[in-house]
Chains A and B, each alone.
Chain A
Amino acid sequence: SYVLTQPPSVSVAPGQTARITCGGNNIGSKSVHWYQQKPGQAPVLVVYDDSDRPSGIPERFSGSNSGNTATLTISRVEAGDEADYYCQVWDSSSDHPENYVFGTGTKVTVL
């Protein structure tokens, strides 16, 4: 089945830029979505289709996807951005697709 690999943690100072990677075989050919999950809360969609933002999500959140790596970028990081972030794709490429695949998750800590 398709595997998405994320770094376990990313630390960033307030006002700086956080970059969270999501690695997968030829992920650039897939549509990647990103979710933010704060402690004790349900996930929230922050980026869909590689780089689009749902309404209400700040422009500070952006995404890119190419080759074997997709990236979620959080600019001008705020304390409220501290959360777990998950990437997700729809996998229909293998004989036994897992369909929706989530990444391993990255904990973003604001220093």
Chain B
Amino acid sequence: QVTLKESGPVLVKPTETLTLTCTVSGFSLSNARMGVSWIRQPPGKALEWLAHIFSNDEKSYSTSLKSRLTISKDTSKSQVVLTMTNMDPVDTATYYCARINNYYYYMDVWGKGTTVTVSS
């Protein structure tokens, strides 16, 4: 059974750096046909893609947030980590990680998400 689980702080202060971890099971981060993406969803709003990483360590970022994001993986720990710098209240959202199919670029399995609030 494929699962992904997000973890990280519930509350961060403005200007702080957010670090989120996605722990996967049921598949390997070294699988050439798969990758992991981070997606977020502000309350009551649409989904927004943030970043992805593939088995060959290829990375890609949302153009609008590229300067603030870093994605990395630890294959031995089955973890993908996303950092977002200079957090702002508008970054308050539920953050999801999801497995990507490398051929058609869709997210076939999602984590349950973790809610992050940015407030002083």
Query: A residues within 8 Å of B by Cβ?
Result: 1, 31, 33, 35, 37, 41-45, 48-49, 54, 86, 88, 90, 96-105
A96 CB to closest chain B CB, in angstroms? 5
Bound form: Cα–Cα A96–B60 in Å: 11
Contact of B106 among A1, A37, A48, A96 (CB under 8 A): A48
Residue from B37, B46, B108, B109 having most chain A Cβ neighbours under 10 A: B46
Name B95-109 residues within 8 Å CB distance of A: 96, 98, 101, 104-109
Q: Return chain B residues, CB-CB under 8 Å to A48.
A: 101, 104, 106, 108
CA distance A103 to B48 in the complex (A): 9
A-B contact pairs, 6 of them (CB 8 A): A37-B47, A45-B106, A48-B101, A99-B62, A102-B46, A105-B46
Give A31 to B104 CA distance when docked, in angstroms: 7
Task: Please tell me the number of chain B residues within 8 Å of chain A, measured between CB atoms.
Answer: 24
- The interface stretch among B17-25, B26-34, B75-83, B110-118 is B110-118
Q: What number of A-B contacts does a CB cutoff of 8 Å give?
A: 65
From A31, A54, A86, A96, give the contact of B105 (CB < 8 A): A31
Closest to A50 in B: B104
B residues neighboring A (CB under 8 Å): 37, 39, 46-49, 52, 60, 62-64, 96, 98, 101, 104-113
- Give the distance to chain A from B94, nearest Cβ to Cβ, in Å: 9
Nearest chain B CB to A46 CB, angstrom units: 11
Question: Nearest A residue to B50 by beta-carbon distance?
Answer: A100
Given contacts A101-B49, A102-B48, contact A45 B108 (CB under 8 A): yes
Are A45 and B47 within 8 A (Cβ)? no
The complex places the Cα of A104 from the Cα of B107 at a distance, in Å, of 17
**B108 touching A42 by the CB < 8 A rule?**
no
